[in-house]
Amino acid sequence: MGRRTDEVMDAVRDRIAARGLAAGDRLPSIRALATSLSVSPSTVVEAYERLAAEGMVRARLGSGMFVARSPAPRPLTTTRGDAERAIDPFWVSRQSLDAEPDAAKPGCGWLPADWMPTEALRRALRRAARAGDAVLTDYGSARGHAPLRQLLARQFAAEGLDVGPDAVLLTGSGTQALDLICRLLLRTGDTVLVDDPCYFNFRALLSAHRVTVVGVPMTPIGPDPASFAELAERHRPRLYVTNSAIHNPTGASLSPAVAHRVLAAAAAYDIAIVEDEILADFEPEPTPRLADLDGLERVLRIGSFSKTLSASVRCGYIAARLDWIEALTDLQIATQFGAASPVSAGVVHDALADGGYRRHMEGVRRRLGRARGEVARRLATIGLRLWTVPRGGFSLWCELPEGGSAADLARFAAGRGVVLAPGDVFSPSGRAGSMMRFNVAQMSDPRVWETVESGLAHGGER
Amino acid sequence: MGRRTDEVMDAVRDRIAARGLAAGDRLPSIRALATSLSVSPSTVVEAYERLAAEGMVRARLGSGMFVARSPAPRPLTTTRGDAERAIDPFWVSRQSLDAEPDAAKPGCGWLPADWMPTEALRRALRRAARAGDAVLTDYGSARGHAPLRQLLARQFAAEGLDVGPDAVLLTGSGTQALDLICRLLLRTGDTVLVDDPCYFNFRALLSAHRVTVVGVPMTPIGPDPASFAELAERHRPRLYVTNSAIHNPTGASLSPAVAHRVLAAAAAYDIAIVEDEILADFEPEPTPRLADLDGLERVLRIGSFSKTLSASVRCGYIAARLDWIEALTDLQIATQFGAASPVSAGVVHDALADGGYRRHMEGVRRRLGRARGEVARRLATIGLRLWTVPRGGFSLWCELPEGGSAADLARFAAGRGVVLAPGDVFSPSGRAGSMMRFNVAQMSDPRVWETVESGLAHGGER
């Protein structure tokens, strides 16, 4: 059974869901579908047979194919009950977001609440309660809270990216920033490059845009530039999505030479680049950035404050060329009406401007440095090998001993109230089956170590 | 020059932007493009000639059409400088959101800050400043803040829609609620029914989804049911988007007989319905609701708190079938990561649960009733005719005297710091050129009346 058969099956499911076809409605003939999808009739026959085996369609002798039952809305990926759910990008998201309050979450991608600058947040919220009536009740301006855009523009300028606040659009979240960019630049069927491995939700988001995702092999100093150029030539992608500073999940940091080669290839093939800077404040000193080298010609810088300040007070941003910002602002009005919440943006602004924030982040970086060292040593004692030594952040990307299955271990752990992040959810090519991402700030619960050790000893059986 | 030519020009611009074609890249031949767009070759010739006149493409003798220059990203609609911008749905949004602080905004769709329950908001924000660390910093659960979902489910049950909190998903805004539903149910090229006229941002949002929008003529008791059935038969739409309680912009309210006929036609043609309840709390007593009659079989109820509580603290919701809610939750994770901000949802919950909210809304309804009467009388004295007498809310939908152009009047007013909402931005068929929507709560500034009277007297000249 080939990939083309799967694609035809997906196309038929899509068509049923998209058209709202009901039981008894007729489906395209084998010949018509083969022509419209540019596949052989035998591929369509196989796809219809397998859909019939699933109970989705049925043949009537001499009169073609029909919908057998009204389908549920097409899920983005396999979605069954929580327990039976496939280990896909949503698995980790749902497990992390909807975990029981007492669950341990070494697989989640954020810091525990007691690592966060809660006092600065409380001060900012009390200040919000005293804001003017209009700030509390109005939509705010189309690009979002001006003082926060000014503060961000000053920060960017200090890092060598000299843009004004008009080049900054506030968004509902960092994820929404990427989503708006995809809406502007991508069309169904386009190809997008990501790192392999990459942040798992890039994969979920891109699948919602119905584009083809191709992974560029990651190295400890950034994406492999030769592969990048070769994949650019072969696939003519429209967009490349990456994070340069403390790459998620690997912890890699971009080298100047790699940055230059990737930008040169992107220019040669006219590829736009999204550089996600959500982890920038975790770096001890700044490493090269594509946006700074490029000066926002083809790079769009995005980020949010969810990892450093609060994921509850939601706010993200895009810094990009003015003509793109203008079009993205319209798109955000159409799909969200207005930018980030002015109250939330005000809280973010006040907390970032609070003298305590910088001191707090210095403390977090020191504390994370110690935790990375301790966790890496302890993982080594049970046979897990670090892929690279990150310069900052909370993630360690490790290989399980003897090619063990990270998905099996994650399922085993889920049954014991421990949320893990197995490698393949990060890997577009599915070549990270033995890798696991650990969050060193979420490893203090003894159950984490008991579960991982016991799971490894049992080969991941339930 | 016909509408088809415009469509072909748009299609070519789309293709250039979507594919990222650069100067020198070849465009489809006249014959190929005519076939793929189902238009005559002469239409394509005319479109290419006009694009060449714009400098976008150029012909090379004997070798076809080429991109002349790299285009800016494709805007959703015509976007020039603010002053030259076309009067389209974005015109009103941008003018309203980005108006100078001293502008008068009778065209905007919300109440002035001093009509809003700011004291309840301030109390809720002070309470948020005392919330637990996890509430202040974590993403929260995938469906959003449980107490707010429970409160909404209780309100729905009191209105006759008996669903549990699991059928409620919190979203970043009411607009985002509709956007998620469109992502789930629609595919490029589908047809969607809206009311004619309808809330202008429905048009902007649906254009971002690249679907065909068809308007159902509105009557003072709801959409015309015979037209609805006929358009359903002709276009086989996947979705119908409406608001039943105090329709925007007309102020109409749905009658029971119309509700029943629309639901029956939707069932016959398997059309899903989005019922936007953003103005529900402005009704003196509840009128029939499609969601209540249907029991959330095919109706999805959406809403937000932007008109009644705060547009700055952003939060919306979807109430729908559990299988749809499950798929929408995944979509929201992929495109936004997480639901509405837990801090914002907590503030909304506390403000709604505050005893003062209900009293406040009673006062707002009384005050709006007086304002509607006063403004309607004054508009009548200058020759504007009310289309219907709304049962509640802040909008009056009026016809200008002698078929005057509302777009001309709006341009005239924009030059004088007065934001108006001309009829055609609300009308998919473009048949509301003489209509204007006025917000009775934003008419106390004497400039509004001076400008409208002077504009009418001058026939809208600049």
ipTM: 0.81
When the pLDDT of each residue in chain B is averaged and rounded to a whole number, the result is 89
A51 with A198, same domain: the answer is no
Query: B142 — contact with chain A (CB < 8 Å)?
Result: yes
Residue B175 lies in a domain: yes
> In chain A, pLDDT over 90 holds for what percent of residues?
70
Highest mean pLDDT among A19-23, B214-218, B311-315 belongs to: B214-218
Question: pLDDT-derived band of residue B92, with 50, 70 and 90 as boundaries?
Answer: confident
A372 with A278, same domain: the answer is no
Mutate to test the interface with A, among B191, B335, B360 (most CBs of A within 10 A): B335
Say yes or no for a CB contact (<8 Å) between A187 and B18: yes
B327 with B363, same domain: the answer is no
Does the pLDDT at position A266 exceed 80? yes
Query: Quick one: pLDDT at residue B51?
Result: 78
> In chain A, pLDDT over 70 holds for what percent of residues?
92
For A222-253, write each residue's pLDDT tens digit: 999 999 999 999 999 999 999 998 999 999 99
A409 with A347, same domain: the answer is no
To the nearest 10 degrees (0 to 180), the angle between helices A322-336 and B200-208 is 120
Query: B349 — contact with chain A (CB < 8 Å)?
Result: no
Q: Choose the final residue of a domain: B334, B355, B376.
A: B355
Query: A311 — contact with chain B (CB < 8 Å)?
Result: yes
Query: Quick one: pLDDT at residue B72?
Result: 42
Question: pLDDT-derived band of residue A3, with 50, 70 and 90 as boundaries?
Answer: confident
Query: Quick one: pLDDT at residue B144?
Result: 95
Residues in chain B within 8 Å Cβ distance of A344: 313-314, 341, 343-344
Residues in chain B within 8 Å Cβ distance of A121: 136-137
* Contacts with A, B 24-53, CB within 8 Å: none
Does the pLDDT at position B73 exceed 60? no
Say yes or no for a CB contact (<8 Å) between B335 and A208: yes
Say yes or no for a CB contact (<8 Å) between B18 and A90: no
Residue of A nearest to B116 (CA): A137
Question: pLDDT-derived band of residue B26, with 50, 70 and 90 as boundaries?
Answer: confident
Residue A172 parent element (H or E): none
Does the pLDDT at position B309 exceed 90? yes
In this structure, how many other beta carbons lie within 10 angstroms of the beta carbon of residue B35?
A: 13
Question: pLDDT-derived band of residue A27, with 50, 70 and 90 as boundaries?
Answer: confident
Say yes or no for a CB contact (<8 Å) between B118 and A129: no
Query: Quick one: pLDDT at residue A83?
Result: 47
Query: Quick one: pLDDT at residue A61?
Result: 56
Backbone phi, then psi, for B421, in 5-degree steps? -120, 90
Query: Quick one: pLDDT at residue A112?
Result: 94
Cα dihedral A206/A209/A211/A216 (nearest 10): -20
Residue of A nearest to B341 (CA): A312
Q: For B84-106, what is the mean pLDDT?
A: 82
For B332-351, write each residue's pLDDT tens digit: 999 998 888 999 999 999 99
Which spans in A173-224 are helix H?
Answer: 174-185, 200-208
A273 with A350, same domain: the answer is yes
Query: Quick one: pLDDT at residue B33?
Result: 84
Residues in chain A within 8 Å Cβ distance of B335: 175-176, 179, 205, 208
Does the pLDDT at position B368 exceed 90? yes
Q: For A142-151, what is the mean pLDDT?
A: 95
Residue A165 lies in a domain: yes
Residues in chain B within 8 Å Cβ distance of A75: 326-327, 330
Question: pLDDT-derived band of residue B18, with 50, 70 and 90 as boundaries?
Answer: low
Q: Are the C-beta atoms of residues A31 and A40 closer than 8 Å to each other?
A: no
Residue of A nearest to B72 (CA): A323
> In chain B, pLDDT over 90 holds for what percent of residues?
70
* Contacts with B, A 273-292, CB within 8 Å: none
Residues in chain B within 8 Å Cβ distance of A74: 327
Residue of B nearest to A80 (CA): B326
Does the pLDDT at position B80 exceed 80? no
Distance, CA of A418 to CA of A412 (rounded, Å):
9
Does the pLDDT at position B385 exceed 70? yes
CB pairs under 8 A between A and B: 282
Does the pLDDT at position B55 exceed 90? no
Backbone phi, then psi, for A391, in 5-degree steps? -80, -10
Does the pLDDT at position A21 exceed 70? no
Query: Quick one: pLDDT at residue B71?
Result: 42
B150 with B25, same domain: the answer is no
Q: For B32-41, what is the mean pLDDT?
A: 83
Question: pLDDT-derived band of residue A55, with 50, 70 and 90 as boundaries?
Answer: low
Mutate to test the interface with B, among A136, A239, A348 (most CBs of B within 10 A): A136
> In chain B, pLDDT over 70 holds for what percent of residues?
92
Query: A109 — contact with chain B (CB < 8 Å)?
Result: no
Q: For A174-194, what is the mean pLDDT?
A: 95
Does the pLDDT at position B179 exceed 90? yes
B106 with B134, same domain: the answer is no
Number of domains chain A is built from = 3
Give the sheet arrangement for strand A191-196, strand by strand. A168-171, A316-319, A299-304, A272-276, A239-242, A191-196, A212-219, A222-223
Query: B95 — contact with chain A (CB < 8 Å)?
Result: no
Q: Choose the final residue of a domain: A335, A355, A375.
A: A355
A41 with A143, same domain: the answer is no
Longest dimension (CA), chain B: 77
Q: Choose the final residue of a domain: B355, B375, B410.
A: B355
Residue B232 lies in a domain: yes
Residue A450 lies in a domain: yes
- Domain hosting A337: range is 118-355
Residue A425 lies in a domain: yes
Q: For A305-328, what is the mean pLDDT?
A: 95
Q: For A341-357, what is the mean pLDDT?
A: 92
A335 with A189, same domain: the answer is yes
CA A63 to chain centre: 45
Query: Quick one: pLDDT at residue B8?
Result: 85
Query: Quick one: pLDDT at residue B19?
Result: 58
CATH number (domain holding residue A62): 1.10.10.10
Query: Quick one: pLDDT at residue A429?
Result: 95
A131 with A62, same domain: the answer is no
Query: B146 — contact with chain A (CB < 8 Å)?
Result: no
Residue of B nearest to A191 (CA): B19
CATH number (domain holding residue A283): 3.40.640.10
Query: Quick one: pLDDT at residue B83?
Result: 47
Residue B137 lies in a domain: yes
3-state helix, strand, coil in chain A (%, to 5): 50, 15, 40
Determine which of B77-81, B147-151, B178-182 has the lowest per-residue pLDDT on average: B77-81
Residue A54 lies in a domain: yes
Residues in chain B within 8 Å Cβ distance of A172: 172-173, 176, 314, 336
For A64-108, write each residue's pLDDT tens digit: 787 875 444 433 433 334 545 677 888 888 888 888 878 899 999
A58 with A107, same domain: the answer is no
Closest partner CB to A118 (pick from B98, B121, B137): B137
Query: Quick one: pLDDT at residue A190?
Result: 94
Does the pLDDT at position B197 exceed 50? yes
CATH number (domain holding residue A441): 3.90.1150.10
Residue B214 lies in a domain: yes
Say yes or no for a CB contact (<8 Å) between B172 and A130: no
A221 with A362, same domain: the answer is no
Q: Are the C-beta atoms of residues A167 and A321 closer than 8 Å to each other?
A: yes
Query: B78 — contact with chain A (CB < 8 Å)?
Result: no
Say yes or no for a CB contact (<8 Å) between B90 and A187: no
For A372-420, write each residue's pLDDT tens digit: 999 999 999 999 999 999 999 999 999 999 989 999 999 999 999 999 9
